[in-house]
Structures are given as C-alpha cells and as structure tokens.
C-alpha cells in the first residue's frame, strides 16, 4: 500500500527526465497538468495523471494510507540549495549599512571587516552556539521549501576551527530533516595571524588531509587579493588527492581566472561567475555555473546569464547564505531575484534551483526531479502556476513540505523563528 498520494495538482512540475539541463533545455520543466504522485517507503512509487496513478494503485488492489488533494496548487521537487555558508556566528549589519552608504565589499574586507569579521566571531563561539544558530536557519530554510542543502565551512581558517565547523555541519546533518552536503572552504581567506605562505603550507599539509575526512567538496575563494589562480589550483589539486571534488568561488568581484581554473581542474561547479572572461566561459564548459542572485542583489552584480546559456553552460542557483554578501536564505526569493536581476525566466530559474542544483552537489541521482524511485522530497505551493513563484516576491508560497515521504511539521518550525538571530 502506498503511504501517501497527492492528487490533482494543477501543475505537477516533475523536471523529468532528470538530466542536467543547458541551453534551451533549461526551460523544460516536465509539467503534468492535473497530476498525481504516490509515495511509498520514502520514495516516489508512481507519478502521472490521476488515472495513471490510480491504475497503478488498483493493479496492486490497494489504496494509499493518506491522500492530499492538491486542487489549484502546484507540486514540485523540494529546492536544492547548492551553495551556502550557513554555519557562522553574529551578523554584519554594520557593514551592510556602510555598503549602503557607498563603501564597497572589497574596501570593507581590506579594512579588516568582511569574512575576517565573521571569522573572529565564529572562533569565539562554542560548537553548541554555532549548532543552535544553524538549526534556526535550517528551520527557516525548510519552511521555504529547501529539502537539500550544501553547507561550506570557511569561517574558522585554522585546523581546529575548521574542524569545529565541519563537526557542526555533521551534527546538523544527523538531526535535521534537510539533507546536508558538506564542503570544505578553508581557503576562504587568509587568517589575520598568518602570512599567505604560512597559511598555504598549513592548508596543504595539515588542514586538507584532516578536513577531507569530513567533506565531499573542496572550495576556494579565487579572487584578486585572496587566493590567486595558481594558489587555488594547488589547494584544489591537494584536495583531489584526498578525494575532495573541486568547486570554486570564481570571478565574483573581478576576473581572476576562476572560470578558466574550473576547466583545468575539472571542478563540478564554478560559483558566482559575475566577471568571467571569454576564455573562461569557453573553458568551464564541463562545469556547472552556480549563480548566486542574493549576492548579486547585495553587491549590485549582474552575471552574464545570456552568454552562459548561449555557451551551453548549465546554470544552477543557490542562496549563498552568509552574513556578508548574501543574508538571503529563501529559495523562492532567490528564484525571484534570478528573474528580476539576472534576466532568467521563471522556468530557467526553477530548473536552476532543482535538478541543476542537484547536479552541482552530486545528488541528482536521488533528488532534484520527481521520478519513480527517487527520494520523495517535494513541496506543495499555494499558487496556480510556477510563474507565480518569482512574481509574488517575498511571499512564502510553500504550504506543505514532504521530506523522504514524510510530511514535515513546518508550522512548529515557524514558531521557533521568533528567536533572535545572530546575537
Ligand atoms: O560567497 N566570496 C566569498 N564568500 C562569500 C562571502 C562571505 C562573506 O562575506 O562572509 C560569498 O559571497
Ligand atoms: Fe559563497
């Protein structure tokens, strides 16, 4: 007997078949109008029109334990947030004010603010404080439809402090319904108490060998004044020796060679991609471009979406949730920003936040599309068309979240949001 059947969704957005989409394919949502979907043992057991799903169920002479009528609603895969920096302490509202008044992100960072500001606070926080803070954000994320999330370390910048953050990420993944994929980003900045050379040595010889036991990906902030292309290459190649798959913060503030490097080291994704060179776009064809519309909003960036799509580079989007460049965690808002700021269509943005995002963190065999056999991670939205997701900007359209086949009690989580964040 099926555990759950959702019937009559006005649009059942399947993203099926779940291949990595590029170019025109980015608009292919695989919509079934008036669709139904059945779930058993946490997996999708049938999908199609009501008649199709009914026939499947009758063929087993049984019904479902629970039914949800999704008339006038849409149903789609849970969002995959493929780029976050969710474990940190404090906030940087003062820097936000300075930026609004005209200072740039780079100027603030060079004056000892920026990432280092959060590193100082995160180092002072206990593991438990970081854990509690992160849970609040995860609860917020799931109520906004995120069912899978990548989380980067990177506010520790020493062996002990990076391991503290990776341990928090592990504890979160063990207790929270959101599936969490850990990324090591020790090369997020150079700590204030070390020279670049000292920290590079430490990263290559001490931190990467140890941190690699607790992460799937190795990321690096390849940027003018942070890690050069050659340094980033050394870090990513060393990570590879220890089984970490490369990712790059590439060409975010300036054209720094990150997109070229993505091709050279075989990165699964190159993220930000605001200022890629022509050669970089040419070279990163085997990587996914992860665009981060929250950072684009806060830093007034406009990534070359049309060029990337024309070049046939698959695009994913993520929140980049962090206390500096992108204090934005809601994927419906990120989809809205992708459309309004970056000129993506609603269909392209939805593809980018589901199946392509799943590919960007190596989980597309399990999630990102609604197909028989895949994990039953799906959301019901109180809108009548997917085009309304970016349109009702700032409204949370998610009314039901189903994770691994289980209906989540998101109302309960909403109330836990009354706590103060980042104190
Ligand atoms: O992806 N660019 C580097 N890292 C973050 C910003 C982190 C921060 O400002 O704390 C980003 O935007
Ligand atoms: Fe980032």
Note the pLDDT tens digit of each residue in 63-85.
Answer: 789 999 999 999 999 999 999 99
Q: How far is the C-alpha of 302 from the C-alpha of 192, rounded, in Å?
A: 31
∠332-347-173 over CA atoms, to 5°?
45
Ligand 1 close to Cβ of residue 294 (< 6 A): no
pLDDT of residue 412: 67
| pLDDT 10s digits, 379-421 | 999 999 999 999 999 999 999 999 999 999 877 665 444 333 3
Contact yes or no for 29/370 (Cβ under 8 A): no
Asked whether the CA dihedral 387, 392, 396, 399 is positive or negative, the reply is negative
pLDDT of residue 269: 98
Q: Where are the beta strands (DSSP E) in 233-330?
A: 245-250, 269-272, 288-291, 315-317
Q: Where are the beta strands (DSSP E) in 62-116?
A: 64-69, 74-77, 79-81
pLDDT mean over 137-152: 98
Compute φ and ψ for 30, nearest 5 degrees: 60, 55
Ligand 1 close to Cβ of residue 295 (< 6 A): yes
| pLDDT 10s digits, 329-388 | 999 999 999 999 999 999 999 999 999 999 999 999 999 999 999 999 999 999 999 999
* pLDDT over 90 at 255, yes or no: yes
The per-residue pLDDT of the chain, averaged, comes to 95
pLDDT mean over 173-182: 98
Task: Using a pLDDT cut of 90, give the percent of the chain over it.
Answer: 91
Q: How far is the C-alpha of 118 from the C-alpha of 133, rounded, in Å?
A: 14
pLDDT of residue 58: 75
pLDDT of residue 413: 61
pLDDT mean over 157-182: 98
pLDDT of residue 407: 97
Give me ligand 2 centre to Cα 295, in Å.
Answer: 8
Look at ligand 1, atom 8, and give the residue with the nearest C-alpha: 324
Compute φ and ψ for 408, nearest 5 degrees: -90, 145
The contacts of residue 302 (CB under 8 Å, 6+ apart) are 274, 296, 341, 342
Give me ligand 1 centre to Cα 115, in Å.
Answer: 7
Ligand 1 close to Cβ of residue 250 (< 6 A): no
Cis upstream peptide for 34 (omega within 30°): no
User: CB neighbours (10 Å) of residue 391?
Assistant: 16
Contact yes or no for 268/241 (Cβ under 8 A): no
Lookup: tokens for 216: 């799937």
Give me ligand 2 centre to Cα 81, in Å.
Answer: 12
Lookup: tokens for 325: 């460049």
The contacts of residue 62 (CB under 8 Å, 6+ apart) are 1, 2
H or E element, residue 2: strand 2-13
Give me ligand 1 centre to Cα 9, in Å.
Answer: 38
Q: In whole angstroms, how large is the CA radius of gyration of the chain? A: 21
Q: Where are the beta strands (DSSP E) in 14-82?
A: 31-40, 43-48, 64-69, 74-77, 79-81
* pLDDT over 70 at 182, yes or no: yes
Task: Using a pLDDT cut of 70, give the percent of the chain over it.
Answer: 96
CA dihedral 305, 310, 316, 320 (to 10 degrees): -30
User: CB neighbours (10 Å) of residue 42?
Assistant: 14
Q: Which residue has the higher pLDDT, 111 or 269?
A: 269
pTM above 0.85, yes or no: yes
Report how far Cα 423 is from the mean position of its chain's Cα atoms.
24
pLDDT of residue 417: 41
pLDDT mean over 227-249: 98
Ligand nearest to the CA of 109: 1
316-349: b or e for each residue (b if 16 or more CB lie within 10 Å)? bbbbbbbbbbbbbbbbbbbbbbbbebbebebbbb
List the alpha helices (DSSP H) in 287-370: 293-299, 305-310, 331-340, 346-353, 355-360
Ligand nearest to the CA of 91: 1
Lookup: tokens for 376: 């039953």
| pLDDT 10s digits, 272-308 | 999 999 999 999 999 999 999 999 999 999 999 999 9
Q: Which residue has the higher pLDDT, 55 or 256?
A: 256
- Shortest CA distance to 45 belongs to which of 55, 33, 30, 32? 55
Banded pLDDT at 61 (limits 50, 70, 90): low
Ligand 1 close to Cβ of residue 256 (< 6 A): no
- Shortest CA distance to 9 belongs to which of 346, 406, 400, 348? 400
Banded pLDDT at 164 (limits 50, 70, 90): very high
Banded pLDDT at 112 (limits 50, 70, 90): confident
Contact yes or no for 350/356 (Cβ under 8 A): no
* pLDDT over 80 at 422, yes or no: no
Q: How far is the C-alpha of 357 from the C-alpha of 350, rounded, in Å?
A: 10
């Amino acid at each position: 007997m099926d555990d759950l059947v959702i019937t009559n969704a006005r649009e059942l957005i399947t993203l099926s078949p779940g291949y990595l989409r590029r170019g025109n394919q980015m608009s292919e949502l695989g919509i079934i109008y008036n669709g139904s979907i059945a779930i058993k043992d946490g997996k999708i057991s049938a999908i199609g029109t009501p008649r199709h799903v009914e026939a499947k169920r009758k063929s087993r002479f049984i019904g479902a334990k629970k039914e949800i009528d999704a008339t006038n609603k849409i149903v789609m895969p849970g969002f995959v947030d493929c780029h976050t920096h969710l474990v940190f302490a404090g906030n940087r509202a003062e820097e936000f004010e300075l930026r609004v008044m005209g200072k740039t992100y780079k100027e603030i960072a060079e004056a000892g603010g920026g990432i280092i500001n959060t590193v100082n606070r995160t180092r002072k926080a206990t593991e438990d404080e970081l854990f509690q803070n992160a849970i609040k954000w995860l609860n917020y994320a799931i109520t906004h439809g995120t069912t899978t999330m990548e989380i980067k370390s990177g506010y520790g910048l020493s062996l002990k402090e990076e391991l503290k953050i990776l341990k928090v990420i592990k504890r979160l993944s063990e207790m929270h319904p959101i599936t969490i994929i850990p990324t090591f980003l020790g090369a997020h900045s150079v700590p204030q108490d070390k020279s670049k050379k000292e920290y590079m040595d430490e990263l290559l010889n001490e931190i990467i060998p140890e941190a690699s036991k607790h992460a799937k990906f190795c990321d690096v902030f390849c940027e003018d004044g942070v890690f050069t292309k050659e340094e980033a290459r050394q870090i990513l190649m060393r990570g590879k020796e220890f089984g970490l798959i490369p990712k790059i913060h590439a060409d975010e503030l300036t054209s720094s060679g990150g997109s070229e490097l993505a091709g050279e080291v075989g990165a699964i994704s190159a993220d930000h991609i605001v200022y890629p060179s022509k050669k970089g776009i040419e070279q990163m064809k085997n990587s996914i471009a992860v665009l981060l519309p929250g950072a684009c909003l806060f830093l007034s960036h406009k990534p070359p979406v049309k060029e990337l799509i024309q070049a046939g580079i698959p695009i994913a989007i993520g929140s980049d949730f962090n206390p500096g460049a992108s204090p934005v965690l809601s994927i419906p808002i990120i989809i809205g920003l992708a459309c309004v700021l970056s000129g993506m269509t609603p269909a392209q943005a939805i593809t980018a936040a589901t199946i392509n995002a799943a590919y960007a963190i190596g989980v597309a065999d399990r999630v990102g599309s609604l197909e028989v056999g895949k994990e039953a991670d799906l959301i019901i939205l109180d809108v009548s068309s997917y085009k309304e997701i970016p349109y009702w900007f700032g409204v949370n359209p998610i009314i039901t979240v189903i994770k691994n086949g289980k209906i989540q009690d998101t109302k309960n989580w909403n109330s836990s949001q009354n706590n103060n964040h980042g104190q």
